[in-house]
Amino acid sequence: MTSSTNHRPWLTATGPESGDLVLVTPESAGWGYSGLRVVRLEPGVVRTIRTGTSEVFVLPLSGGLTIEVSAAASPAVREARYALTGRASVFTRVTDFAYVGRDSLITLISANGAEVAIPSAVCESRRESRYGPAEDVPVDIRGAGPASRQVVNFGVPGAFDHAEKLVAVELITPPGNWSSYPPHKHDASSPCPVVNEEIYFYRIAGPDQLTPSREGFGMHRTYTGPEHEDAGLADIDDRLEVRDMDVVLVPHGYHGPCVAAPGYPMYYLNVMAGPGERAMLFCDDPAHAWIRDSWAGTATDPRCPVTSSEGRVDGLSLPETGALPVAEGT
């Protein structure tokens, strides 16, 4: 495997505060828009986060929590309060979430402890917070055969249109399958219609198929072609082994496939934002674009979908969080 400055293995991208498991800012990534913070909330301990110039999603990875939102300019005036039910793990069910605008103050607390992802995007306007119920989140199956995977479209245009710049989506790839395939790009090289900086945040389940573990692994590929050199973009040739809690940055270039090792389900959270319109448009690598047509008539993997808002489709489960599904405020 190659080493890469775009690969941030577990414990190499932590933040300055206690509980900051992952912190990627536009400054630390060397770009302009996309960011990600992952925090661990200890039971009953309050955590306060300022969104600054970025809009964010608050996405439970495990556990449930309550958040309160106020404008940073008026911290004593509560804008909204949401109790997020959450989930036992990213491999057990689709979760509810919240959107919080820029220039906001967020207070988070969990009775039983939680891990929370906070994807972010630098934006211009401050928008009111919103609650996203789990049952309203679209779950799709993409690909076919061994390239089948589940896509949880909680924070994408068409499913959630309230954000200005931020795009976020979850994927679950069954053991042995390929995702982010065919390889694709959304950068400043021809003929891409949109530019997005992208973050991959990985979770890998252990042998029980439910509990994240550093035991398993997967593979991630990012690379550039002659068109990237023509556009003045740096060469990338990343062939990476990824494990639970690893982060991979994709500043530009074709990315994919992401491959789940046999025996180990792969989850990743994609965070995207850029200077243009909020969109998930992309261009396939022309050398491999034909593969999409080859899927016609090919059955999808029966293990997909893996989860829904009700839980695991195959009936596997972990203890639930016990939080109440309450949403208050705007």
pLDDT at 225 over 80: yes
pLDDT at 329 over 60: no
pLDDT at 224 over 60: yes
Of the candidates 197, 222, 277, 169, the one whose C-alpha atom is nearest the C-alpha of residue 28 is: 197
pLDDT at 95 over 50: yes
Q: How many percent of the chain have pLDDT more than 90? A: 92
More confident residue, 164 or 193: 164
pLDDT digits 0-9 by tens, 38-56: 999 999 999 999 999 999 9
More confident residue, 326 or 139: 139
Contact 89, 211 (CB under 8 A): yes
- Please give the pLDDT value at position 14: 93
- Please give the pLDDT value at position 1: 52
Helix (H, G, I), strand (E, B) or coil at 204: strand
CA distance 78 to 100: 13
C-beta neighbour count of 43 within 10 angstroms: 11
Confidence of residue 322 (pLDDT cuts 50, 70, 90): very low
C-beta neighbour count of 46 within 10 angstroms: 11
Of the candidates 195, 200, 190, 186, the one whose C-alpha atom is nearest the C-alpha of residue 254 is: 186
- Please give the pLDDT value at position 326: 38
pLDDT at 122 over 90: yes
The full set of domains in the chain, from first to last, is 7-130+137-292 (2.60.120.10)
Contact 278, 253 (CB under 8 A): no
Contact 120, 34 (CB under 8 A): yes
**Which amino acid is residue 24, in one-letter code?**
V
- Locate 195 and state its tokens: 């530019």
Confidence of residue 3 (pLDDT cuts 50, 70, 90): low
- Please give the pLDDT value at position 320: 65
- 154-177 core/surface letters (b: 16 or more CB in 10 A; e: else): bbbeeebeebbbbbbbbbbbbbbb
CA distance 186 to 125: 24
pLDDT at 323 over 60: no
Where are the strands (E) in 72-145, listed by range?
A: 78-87, 97-100, 104-109, 114-122, 130-132, 139-142
- Please give the pLDDT value at position 76: 87
pLDDT digits 0-9 by tens, 257-313: 999 999 999 999 999 999 999 998 899 999 999 999 999 999 999 999 999 999 999
- Please give the pLDDT value at position 321: 53
CA distance 91 to 182: 24
* pTM (2 d.p.): 0.95
CA distance 270 to 118: 12
Helix (H, G, I), strand (E, B) or coil at 49: strand
Characterize the bridge pairing of strands 114-122 and 54-71: antiparallel
Q: Compute the mean pLDDT over every residue in the chain, rounded to the nearest whole number.
A: 95
Of the candidates 113, 120, 98, the one whose C-alpha atom is nearest the C-alpha of residue 37 is: 120
- Locate 207 and state its tokens: 């042998």
